[in-house]
Structure 1
Amino acid sequence: MKQIALLLSLSLFTLTSLCAQEIVPLGGYDFLNVKPKGQPAGQAKMNCDNLLPDGFLQVTAEDSLDITINVDTNGFEVGSAYTCLNCDDLEFGELESTDAGFTYTANADVEQGLDTLELAFCNPDGDDCSVVQTVIVVAQRASRTFTFSAETLSPQERIDIEVPLDELPEGVACRFFADCEDGYLGNEQSVYFLRDIMVNNDFAYVAARYGGVDQVCLQVCNDLALCDEYIYEFEVVRPNIDLPFFDDFSNEGNRPRLELWQNQDVLVNRTLAVLPPSIGVATFDGIGPRGFAYPLDGTVTGPRDFLTSAPINMGGESNLAITFYAQLRGLGDRPEINDSLRLEFLRQDGEWQNVWSTRGISTGFGNCVDTAFTFYQVDIGNQFYYDGFQFRFSNLSSQTGAVDTWHLDYVKVEGANQMGLNDIAFVAPPPSILAEYTALPYRQLLAAGQGILRTSFEASFWNHALPAQTIPISAADYRIEELGTMEVLLEPNGFDIGSLAPGLTAFTNNEPDDGLFNDYLEALEDFDEDGEYVVATTYDLGGVTFTEETDPGFVESVNANNFTTTTTVFADAYAYDDGSSELALAAQSGGQTIVQRYEAFTDEVLRGVSIRLPRSVNDVSNLTIDLVVFLGDLEDGGSPDLSMTVSPIYAEAFYSDSLEGFTSYAFPDSLDIPQGDFYVGWRQNGTCSGSTCVPVGMDRNNNVEGVRFFRNSGDWNPLEGCSLGALMIRPLVGNSQVPVTSTTEFNRDEFVTVYPNPANERVFLTTRNDIELTRLNWTLYSLTGSQLARGTADSQGIDLSNYAAGTYFLRVVDSTNGKISRHKLVVQ
């Protein structure tokens, strides 16, 4: 995101909306901001710069310090001199008088001590002196540096370091980790203290992915600013990998695969690109590995995100090439002409050589014009055929935040005899089973009837077969099931395509007008109309699976793009969004109101609002907004039926499992919603303009038209445009209590506690009310709804060692009464 707001070009809006709102980039990705396992909270860096008390002077053993005092020497006779009145009592150094004042020299064997000097200017007899001035000198030994032999770690491994008890006089009063000039390129490593400063200085080090030698420089200081340094080295060892190299970023989680890549800078996602070659892309922008914007270095264009391959065995190879697809902008922010995406190769001398780059587009390029993925092939020269070869992509930008976005996909490094990799890939998740909404109370679904349901299923495929050829996919199907009960709502149905031509194919499978609705109702007829359900729509290529026997260029991960799932939530909330914000929308000025329309198909009770308030580049915490609700038709100049002033509260500040965290606000009194339309939104208060106003998340993957409106003071106007999307505002309805500042989409019956969360290799379940663990059945899902594992709870916990870092969905069912406890689980 840019430091300045993005005011989209005239082609984006109708004339009524041009001067009304501003689309602004996000300031970071909250769901990446997860502290390392075991890291205590509140470890802000100590400031050890001003430990020495005011007025104290500091000198190191054997060093000298010139001291001057401010006295008026007029009227003193010849022979008068600077005099120390108590130098016979000095313990830690010696003082000599000079023509300009004094020189204090610390003893060679001093550890630490205070000498108090009483200084004056006196006549030769010493009986007439100026006003006595007191100077306190801190004499100390020199700072010490301790260097330790290197510890060897694997990428992302943790090691606890026992620091020797320091010999600082008077003990440690301040400590911090200083920057080390080690040249190490990893940037997501973590280091943190394990104990309070009064106990010891032991710390944990969590390695980055990047191979090489990292240094940690620990500084410990006493309360008189004497500091010692401990230098530790950590060698992160990455084994070389063999060809072929392939990644289409279809893996679960938000980070690239550990075995292939040495950085975590890029964001792996399924929402920011448009029609990628395979579901999932790596997005480059101005946000670092922990979800925060990189520091802005003026307006200097420089690298932001890096994606560096693991070392590859290339010795003895020839005629190799790197192929990949790249797209600028997608659903994110447009890279300008001075921005670029580049590819570099590592030479044997350790220097990086630029071999390819592409530039952004001019500001005159229309925001409503899609930018397709472009295929690139870069041949590898003979000088790079050595074991340990690496390549890296990076983006160059003068901005910071989720700006200047590039999307990378389908990266391959192959030899001439391996270019026959066959693959059929989904390029996007399925749509919601609802025509417009992504979440809805189940009772509203029953009241709405079949008209609210999607009556067709759209799917896009990419045939990557090499050499280009038509491939039959008669075994591909789609199915719909409720995850809580595992009830199948729609039996697997085949995509009636027959075969796919090379390249991209978009396909629509139409159902009879009432076919889908009748199937759903029959499957759900025994469900509680006030219940909470998660319905998963799954696309599966089924029999289109390649193996090493069928494909000489087979790579195990190539089949990961054969399966994709979308969930639709039926609980006590309405939603148009999929939970991901690609951009944000802010009012153009204070006093403006923006709303989104919803429909009650039967009478409802509104109890609060969940709203996605993403952090922006600008600080808006001092502003307030009015949450507003209008019932029935919007009337020009009409007042809201409900209004409540709130301050922005960021969910990620309270919940470590905040994936695109929603902030929930409960209304003081519930509001009855009659059957018909109602509108929920916000009015901007205070003085602000565009990007300095409070932004609200916007999901560009579901740009439902005709539901967004705004007004400044009088008439309402439609808020439309090709670069807009669903506003991430979710009315909370029904009889359930609103979970204030909650990050969940539905309430949990938490008879189970999951710990630790975040977790690393294993997570455990504990129960309330003496429930036996053996009564509990658990299922682990990805956030896209894919079932990953299931089992019966026991004291050994759930093994997570095979799952990539990211956020998962854990469902626990009590087999005796059917109660369900749902949890978002963060794996590190």
Structure 2
Amino acid sequence: MQRIYTIIFFIITATFAQAQINSVEIISNPVLEKQFAEKQHQTQAILQKLTAKQGAAMTSTRDVIIFSGTCVEAGEMYFSCVDTTGLGNGNMVSLLPTTFNFGTASLDTNCLAYIADADADFGIDTAFVQVCNVEGECDTIVYPLYAHRANNTITLPSNTLQAEDTMTVCVDVNALPSNFSNASILGNDPMLGEAFIFGNCIFYEAKRFAGKDTVAFQVCDDFCVCDTYLIPFSIQQDTVSLPFMDDFSYSGPYADADKWLTKDVYVNNTMSIRPVSVGVATFDGLNEKGAPRGNGYAVSDNMTSTYLDLANYNSGSNVYLSFYVEPKGLGEAPAGADSLILEFKNMNDEWNLIDTFKYENLPDTAFTFFSYHINESQYFFKGFQFRWRNFSSRSGNIDHWHLDYVRLASNISDSPSLQDIAFTELPNPILKNYTSMPWWHFIEDIDGEIPAEDKFAEVHIFNHFESTNTVENSRINLSELETSTDILTDLVLFNATNIPPGHSPVIFPSPASATYPTFTNSMNNDFPDDAKYLEFEKTYSFTVAEENPNVNPIVEDNNEVSYTTIFDNYFAYDDGTAEGGLEATKKQVQIAVKFHANVSDSLKAVQFHFPHINVNTSNQLFNLRVWIGELDEAPEYNGILQKPLYIDSYLDSLNGFTTYVLKDIISGEQTPLFIPAGDFYVGWQQVSTCDLNKCIAVGVDKNNPDGMENVFFDPHGFGEDWQNVANSNT
């Protein structure tokens, strides 16, 4: 989908008599590097004395090689053999005399063996091994040896906190032999919590799951000792009583945090076909920020219920879990091994597989009802949970499953019927051609931009009763939010009696005589012609006398729906959500979207939504093009060699847009394009070579299909064979 802006705005070398010292790189620890720098002065002095003692016994001394400092734990041995190949034949290896304060050293043929004292706390010994050949040429190897006590593991008392609470725990670093240097977290259960380091303390943030977590917190001194503190946390979570229900009839994009512990699924009202209540939970291959999970086929989304109290129920309590499922819908069909699974957690904290759903076994344009009798004792405890997980390629916004109308209750049957009538879709926009447009274009052709009287109010409902029933007090309200202007107030939406069970056909109510004239009169007279931003909220509502939220908690939540139409500085056919993508299927192919300007204006920028579908196309190139009047081989604007940018890589965004400002190709300065009144087209041309389903894709709003009538494509890229997408087999 496109939005179009019309107004915008790092061998040290030294010489001792005949000795050249080549110091190899120490280690990357800056503290140890400092210690070696200080130790080198002592080593150099010792080497000078050792060289003087050798006197005439040494014909010449070649290299002095300082090894990296080695940590040797108390009672443990360090063993290192000398490489003598560079000195030729007849080599003699000796351990030069020096004092060892924290261990003992010996020479085994040409290998140094150093054992740290069993009671060593910390100290530095230095071993000097000399290798000489028959000509008297010698190399001296220096071994800095750090004798230290063993690392300790200390378990601290457990800490109790509630889910989503925080706690700070500090550890004693005075037990370290030397100064405290650094700390690190070695691990914990990321499902239960997250730990952050602050000096010798951790800040622990519990997540939404109950359970026992242990943070392994390691603190180190500035030499060799690292102690690990095991810090246990017990996370508590309240349980919820039955009945439990969720029909996802709220704005989302995440599931209700009071009912669900995870944020993986996408709550929306646009991805499915014929839901049984407005709003569904959609499983796909994206994470909660809208980016692909990646790493191949595996579990993608996880929808886990909160903790439920089933302790007072038994096999005779008629406890059932029911819900509706639809694969694909307006999204992409699950393929191959893709599946959706249902699992129950028992009192041993084990997850049991209850059922597996496959695409080929279900219709993809309607929801299928499922009900499961919970009658095993392993589930009757305080803390029961259920969950759905989908397995997919995790490569993008594909492999869709939609879940609706989840209910867990007692003393019920496996029937889908309950006392509820629900809206299943939002109200239609107050615009006929667009979902958003500039106000100054709207007022030039109000009659041509609003729906006809008999199409002004579309109503979609589902009767969950076993038999026909009646909707009462149906109302339509329309308000402009920026100016707090009430346009339609509690007018009758429709009168409906004897509504049959299931879906009712699309209802175009016959408005009360004042409804449509009042609307048109207000749009013509109540707002200034130079308005820059207006926001109209259209709301439907009704009541049903027999609905009882004490029995079925959500039945009144789906009795009111709203839709907001925005007048701003752009044209849009979409509602801000993409159920799929449209791609130019190979190099040179062009796609364009038709718009109509009611007055002359300037085009300054274009917004694209790039959905994650099959592959990452951010390294591919496209040309951004604009045509005025008609589609031909010469666009009036050609923004060459653009790259798609996935906005969720930079911002926490679902369904976000990327803005491309129209610029001069040479100067790079912003260059607005004059648009006369009439038709103009905005689109793109695929520049990079790509394979089918791996080209740049732009979001498509499948639940507003009328917009596709304004989409055209040029299969050859020469601008001479434009075809309407809606009339082709594409």
* TM-score (norm: length of structure 2): 0.80
Q: Aligned runs of 1:383-394 on 2, under 5 Å?
A: 383-384=377-378, 386-388=380-382, 389-394=384-389
User: 2 CA distance for matches of 1:573 and 1:321?
Assistant: 49
User: 2 CA distance for matches of 1:581 and 1:412?
Assistant: 28
Question: What amino acid does structure 2 have at the position aligned with 1:422?
Answer: Q
Over residues 695-751 of structure 1, what are the superposed CA-to-partner deviations in whole Å (9 max), with x where a residue is unaligned? 3222222122321122342234335369999xxxxxxxxxxxxxxxxxxxxxxxxxx
**Structure 2 residue aligned with 1:664, among 649, 652, 659?**
659
How many corresponding residue pairs? 649
What residue is the counterpart of 1:11 in the other structure? none
Q: Aligned runs of 1:803-822 on 2, under 5 Å?
A: none
Secondary structure at 1:131 match in 2: strand
What residue is the counterpart of 2:603 in the other structure? 606
Per-residue deviation at 1:342? Answer: 2.0
Instruction: Report the CA distance shift for 1:517/1:592 in structure 2 as closer, same or farther (over 3 A).
Output: farther
User: 1 CA distance for matches of 2:438 and 2:507?
Assistant: 27
Question: What amino acid does structure 2 have at the position aligned with 1:660?
Answer: N
Secondary structure at 2:377 match in 1: helix
What residue is the counterpart of 1:463 in the other structure? 463
Per-residue deviation at 1:661? Answer: 2.2
User: 1 CA distance for matches of 2:496 and 2:728?
Assistant: 32
What residue is the counterpart of 1:763 in the other structure? none
User: 1 CA distance for matches of 2:639 and 2:514?
Assistant: 40
Contact 2:294 2:394 in 1 (8 A): no
Per-residue deviation at 1:647? Answer: 3.7
What residue is the counterpart of 1:71 in the other structure? 84
Instruction: Report the CA distance shift for 1:75/1:291 in structure 2 as closer, same or farther (over 3 A).
Output: closer
Instruction: Report the CA distance shift for 1:306/1:137 in structure 2 as closer, same or farther (over 3 A).
Output: farther
Residue 98 (1) aligns with residue 95 (2): no
Per-residue deviation at 1:679? Answer: 1.0
Contact 2:79 2:111 in 1 (8 A): yes
Per-residue deviation at 1:644? Answer: 5.3
User: 1 CA distance for matches of 2:323 and 2:514?
Assistant: 43
Residue 379 (1) aligns with residue 373 (2): yes
Question: What amino acid does structure 1 have at the position aligned with 2:637?
Answer: D
What residue is the counterpart of 2:723 in the other structure? 718
User: 2 CA distance for matches of 1:427 and 1:459?
Assistant: 8
Contact 2:322 2:408 in 1 (8 A): yes
Per-residue deviation at 1:562? Answer: 1.2
User: 1 CA distance for matches of 2:690 and 2:123?
Assistant: 56
Over residues 107-127 of structure 1, what are the superposed CA-to-partner deviations in whole Å (9 max), with x where a residue is unaligned? 44545555554323358xx99
User: 2 CA distance for matches of 1:352 and 1:540?
Assistant: 41
Contact 2:709 2:726 in 1 (8 A): no
What residue is the counterpart of 1:643 in the other structure? 639
Over residues 156-193 of structure 1, what are the superposed CA-to-partner deviations in whole Å (9 max), with x where a residue is unaligned? 2333444555765675665543333x6x8x36x44434
Question: What amino acid does structure 1 have at the position aligned with 2:661?
Answer: A
Contact 1:700 1:724 in 2 (8 A): no
User: 2 CA distance for matches of 1:618 and 1:116?
Assistant: 58
Per-residue deviation at 1:391? Answer: 2.2
User: 2 CA distance for matches of 1:718 and 1:305?
Assistant: 42
Residue 82 (1) aligns with residue 90 (2): no
Instruction: Report the CA distance shift for 1:235/1:546 in structure 2 as closer, same or farther (over 3 A).
Output: farther
Question: What amino acid does structure 1 have at the position aligned with 2:610?
Answer: L
Secondary structure at 1:557 match in 2: coil
Per-residue deviation at 1:225? Answer: 6.9
Instruction: Report the CA distance shift for 1:356/1:686 in structure 2 as closer, same or farther (over 3 A).
Output: closer
Secondary structure at 1:507 match in 2: coil
Over residues 306-361 of structure 1, what are the superposed CA-to-partner deviations in whole Å (9 max), with x where a residue is unaligned? 42342322434322221111111112221124222222222333322222222123
User: 1 CA distance for matches of 2:654 and 2:502?
Assistant: 34
Over residues 76-117 of structure 1, what are the superposed CA-to-partner deviations in whole Å (9 max), with x where a residue is unaligned? 66xx753233x5154554322113511122344545555554
Instruction: Report the CA distance shift for 1:169/1:678 in structure 2 as closer, same or farther (over 3 A).
Output: farther
Per-residue deviation at 1:671? Answer: 1.2
Per-residue deviation at 1:66? Answer: 1.3
Per-residue deviation at 1:477? Answer: 2.3
User: 1 CA distance for matches of 2:119 and 2:289?
Assistant: 47
User: 1 CA distance for matches of 2:541 and 2:686?
Assistant: 45
User: 2 CA distance for matches of 1:690 and 1:618?
Assistant: 11
Secondary structure at 2:604 match in 1: strand
Instruction: Report the CA distance shift for 1:370/1:380 in structure 2 as closer, same or farther (over 3 A).
Output: closer
Residue 413 (1) aligns with residue 417 (2): no
Instruction: Report the CA distance shift for 1:581/1:705 in structure 2 as closer, same or farther (over 3 A).
Output: closer
Secondary structure at 1:556 match in 2: coil
User: 1 CA distance for matches of 2:258 and 2:299?
Assistant: 27
Instruction: Report the CA distance shift for 1:514/1:670 in structure 2 as closer, same or farther (over 3 A).
Output: farther
What residue is the counterpart of 1:334 in the other structure? 333
Contact 1:286 1:404 in 2 (8 A): yes
What residue is the counterpart of 1:484 in the other structure? 482
Instruction: Report the CA distance shift for 1:201/1:557 in structure 2 as closer, same or farther (over 3 A).
Output: farther
Instruction: Report the CA distance shift for 1:82/1:493 in structure 2 as closer, same or farther (over 3 A).
Output: farther
Per-residue deviation at 1:435? Answer: 1.6
What residue is the counterpart of 1:12 in the other structure? none
Instruction: Report the CA distance shift for 1:315/1:67 in structure 2 as closer, same or farther (over 3 A).
Output: same
Per-residue deviation at 1:424? Answer: 1.2
User: 1 CA distance for matches of 2:614 and 2:103?
Assistant: 54
Contact 1:321 1:413 in 2 (8 A): yes
Instruction: Report the CA distance shift for 1:506/1:679 in structure 2 as closer, same or farther (over 3 A).
Output: same
User: 1 CA distance for matches of 2:246 and 2:631?
Assistant: 50
Per-residue deviation at 1:442? Answer: 0.5
Instruction: Report the CA distance shift for 1:289/1:130 in structure 2 as closer, same or farther (over 3 A).
Output: same
Contact 1:264 1:307 in 2 (8 A): no
Instruction: Report the CA distance shift for 1:547/1:461 in structure 2 as closer, same or farther (over 3 A).
Output: closer
**Structure 2 residue aligned with 1:148, among 142, 153, 156?**
156
Secondary structure at 2:528 match in 1: coil
Secondary structure at 2:527 match in 1: coil
User: 2 CA distance for matches of 1:606 and 1:166?
Assistant: 67
Secondary structure at 2:309 match in 1: coil
Q: Aligned runs of 1:309-388 on 2, under 5 Å?
A: 309-317=306-314, 318=316, 319-361=318-360, 370-384=364-378, 386-388=380-382
User: 2 CA distance for matches of 1:452 and 1:153?
Assistant: 57
Question: What amino acid does structure 2 have at the position aligned with 1:412?
Answer: R
What residue is the counterpart of 1:178 in the other structure? 186
Residue 59 (1) aligns with residue 57 (2): no
Residue 397 (1) aligns with residue 392 (2): yes
Moved more, 611-620 or 391-400: 611-620
Instruction: Report the CA distance shift for 1:566/1:371 in structure 2 as closer, same or farther (over 3 A).
Output: same
Question: What amino acid does structure 2 have at the position aligned with 1:390?
Answer: Q
Over residues 539-584 of structure 1, what are the superposed CA-to-partner deviations in whole Å (9 max), with x where a residue is unaligned? 212x326565xx7x62333211111111111011111111112233
User: 1 CA distance for matches of 2:89 and 2:519?
Assistant: 110
Gaps of 5+ in 1: 1-22, 24-48, 726-828
Contact 2:164 2:205 in 1 (8 A): yes
User: 2 CA distance for matches of 1:351 and 1:724?
Assistant: 50
Aligned-CA RMSD value: 3.5
Per-residue deviation at 1:232? Answer: 2.6
User: 2 CA distance for matches of 1:75 and 1:316?
Assistant: 86
Per-residue deviation at 1:256? Answer: 2.4
Secondary structure at 2:551 match in 1: coil
Secondary structure at 2:347 match in 1: coil
Contact 2:429 2:565 in 1 (8 A): yes
What residue is the counterpart of 1:474 in the other structure? 472
Instruction: Report the CA distance shift for 1:275/1:224 in structure 2 as closer, same or farther (over 3 A).
Output: farther
* TM-score (norm: length of structure 1): 0.71
Gaps of 5+ in 2: 2-26, 34-66, 663-669
Per-residue deviation at 1:222? Answer: 5.9
Over residues 767-812 of structure 1, what are the superposed CA-to-partner deviations in whole Å (9 max), with x where a residue is unaligned? xxxxxxxxxxxxxxxxxxxxxxxxxxxxxxxxxxxxxxxxxxxxxx
**Structure 2 residue aligned with 1:588, among 560, 580, 585?**
585
Residue 192 (1) aligns with residue 193 (2): no
